[in-house]
């Protein structure tokens, strides 16, 4: 039996390669192979292309080219950003304060820091998953003046935007911003000292992260380091990957903001439509934060339904979605994001749209979801 091609609705995990990136990747792979640190002509070519990629990314993100470092992954950019700011502040203090809904890359960096005699504390969030400036003030009162504060630009599981500008204005210490979930879709917030992004989340290739460090920031390499074209990162430069990432970033930003079919507006309306459909299913919670959210993400949880069963059934029907429920994770722990929000952690689904998502796909999902949830609930024997 042949299956219909899956409707891919997990763009927040990874985007298909943008056509603009595919073209650049093919061309650059043949041209940018040499070591950009050498003096010969192929090396100068590789160096030129790497600098081009850096310039494009800087322009797209509104920073200076010398503030941009390409890393082997978004996770590595996060680790370098968080730990590098902490290393730069070692004489002032060792407390890392982060929102409790940061990506696990930030939490792992915090745990690593704590295992090396540093301190790591988290700031609680509200029901929407948003950290408030007041909560940051309370955390500072409880734990003392932090050396570094980490706040994501937007949450990767529920899409809520965080008040980075307000927090940065409040704390007067270096702020690290994980912008992996929003870069390429929304402009960066302001007030940060270091930030990180990940190319495969905006349609670039996997294996390309971006670390941004402000010129004014005191940053020290927390790792052994290397002797590359850019002293902040390690390993042989992935020049074709960086170029493809830059092309995809430029294209993504244009598509999200270009009239008359601004992708951000199309996605906002489609995720709102899906949220309304889910709201009409009894005993469900939809996580669609008011006052600022990512346009392309909508997450929800359904009482009495097993998250794995929900994802499997939707996959059978041709929809590829993600889940934050414990049964779909590698551990038994439920999503730390949903837990911090006090939200229902089982029966969870995250739907995330991309440039190739058709309205008909979302309409169809909105149509089938009530039946799928009802069918799975019927098996539980819960009185209705």
Partner 1 sequence: MTDPVDHLELDCRGLLCPRPIIELAKAIVDVAVGGTVAVVADDPAARVDVQAWCRMRGQEYAGSQVTAAGVPTYLVRRVN
The footprint of partner 1 (CB under 8 A) covers 283, 285, 301, 303-306, 325-327, 332-334, 338-339, 342-347, 380-383
Nearer to partner 1, 290 or 381 (CB): 381
Nearer to partner 1, 245 or 343 (CB): 343
Nearer to partner 1, 282 or 359 (CB): 282
- Dihedral, 342, 343, 348, 350 alpha carbons, nearest 10: -100
**CA 271 – CA 298 distance, rounded (Å):** 6
First to last CA, the chain: 36
Nearer to partner 1, 256 or 336 (CB): 336
Residue with tokens 């949450």: 155
Eight-class DSSP state of 322: B
Whether residue 327 lies in the annotated active site:
yes
List strand residue ranges (DSSP E) for 187-290, in order.
Answer: 194-198, 209-213, 284-287
Which residue among 60, 180, 302, 327 is the active-site one? 327
**To the nearest whole angstrom, how small is the minimum distance from the Cβ of residue 317 to partner 1?**
21
**To the nearest whole angstrom, how small is the minimum distance from the Cβ of residue 326 to partner 1?**
5
**CA 120 – CA 257 distance, rounded (Å):** 38
**To the nearest whole angstrom, how small is the minimum distance from the Cβ of residue 278 to partner 1?**
14
Nearer to partner 1, 255 or 306 (CB): 306
Q: Do you find a cis peptide bond into 260, omega within 30 degrees of 0?
A: yes
Q: Which residues pair with 122 in a beta bridge?
A: 98
How is 340-363 classified by DSSP, letter by letter?
Answer: HHT---SSEEEEE--TT--HHHHH
Q: At what angle do helices 307-316 and 359-378 cross, to 10 degrees?
A: 130
**To the nearest whole angstrom, how small is the minimum distance from the Cβ of residue 131 to partner 1?**
18
Report the catalytic residues: 327
């Amino acid at each position: 039996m042949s299956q219909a091609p899956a409707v891919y609705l997990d763009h927040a995990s990874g985007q298909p390669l943008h056509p603009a990136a595919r073209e650049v990747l093919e061309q650059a792979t043949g041209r940018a192979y040499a070591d950009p640190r050498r003096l010969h002509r192929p090396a100068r070519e590789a160096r030129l292309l790497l600098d081009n990629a850096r310039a494009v990314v800087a322009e797209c993100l509104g920073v200076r080219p010398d503030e941009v470092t390409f890393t082997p992954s978004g996770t590595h950019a996060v680790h370098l950003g968080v730990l590098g700011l902490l290393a730069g502040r070692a004489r002032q203090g060792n407390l890392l304060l982060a929102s409790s809904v940061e990506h696990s890359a930030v939490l792992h960096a915090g745990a690593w820091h704590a295992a090396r005699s540093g301190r790591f504390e988290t700031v609680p969030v509200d029901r929407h998953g948003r950290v408030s400036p007041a909560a940051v003030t309370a955390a500072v009162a409880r734990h003392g003046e932090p050396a570094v504060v980490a706040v994501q630009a937007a949450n990767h599981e529920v899409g809520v935007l965080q008040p980075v500008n307000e927090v940065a204005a409040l704390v007067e210490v270096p702020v690290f911003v994980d912008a992996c979930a929003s870069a390429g879709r929304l402009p960066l917030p302001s007030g940060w000292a270091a930030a990180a992004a990940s190319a495969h989340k905006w349609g670039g290739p996997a294996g390309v992260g971006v670390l941004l460090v402000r010129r004014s920031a005191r940053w020290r390499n927390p790792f052994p380091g290397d002797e590359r074209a850019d002293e902040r990162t390690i390993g042989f430069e992935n020049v074709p990957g960086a170029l493809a990432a830059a092309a995809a970033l430029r294209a993504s930003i244009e598509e999200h903001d270009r009239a008359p079919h601004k992708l951000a507006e199309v996605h906002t309306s489609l995720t709102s439509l899906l949220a309304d459909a889910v709201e009409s299913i009894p005993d469900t919670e939809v996580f669609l934060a008011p006052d600022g959210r990512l346009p392309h993400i909508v997450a929800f949880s359904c009482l009495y339904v097993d998250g794995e069963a929900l994802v499997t059934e939707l996959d059978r029907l041709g929809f590829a979605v993600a889940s934050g429920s414990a049964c779909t994770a590698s551990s038994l722990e439920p999503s730390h994001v949903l837990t911090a929000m006090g939200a229902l952690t089982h029966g969870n689904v995250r739907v995330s749209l991309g440039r190739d998502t058709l309205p008909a796909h979302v309409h169809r999902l909105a149509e089938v979801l009530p039946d799928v949830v009802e069918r799975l609930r019927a098996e539980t024997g819960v009185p209705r």
